[in-house]
Amino acid sequence: MRITRIDFEGREGYFAIAKRKRDAKQIEVEVLQPNHQASHWVNADDEDELFAMAAFLQELLDGYEGNMEEASCYYNALMSISDVGI
């Protein structure tokens, strides 16, 4: 089994979609906000980049700068489509 897409829902109107195609070296994270859309890419094998993206998603989607534990929830989800630990 492969997980290829994760949908995140934050506060009202804020979403993110993390997706990775087979054999891709990067994970695409599409951020959807009420008046803005953007895509970001992180290397699928870089723990630091993955955690930085997790912290970014936590702050953007939840609407406040959380602690390490809150960012870890997003990080753990991103890990399921990463190369880290494989």
Give dist(CA 79, CA 45) in Å, integer.
Answer: 9
Is the Cβ–Cβ distance between 29 and 43 less than 8 Å? no
Beta-strand pair 15-19/26-33: antiparallel
Domain ranges of the chain: 5-79
List CB contacts of 71: < 8 A, sequence separation 6 or more: 51, 54, 55, 58
3-state secondary structure of 76: helix
- Tell me, what's the pLDDT at 1? 84
pLDDT along the chain (86 residues), means of 10: 94 97 96 96 97 98 95 96 82
Q: Is the pTM of this model over 0.85?
A: yes
Q: Which two tokens stand for residue 85?
A: 């630990």
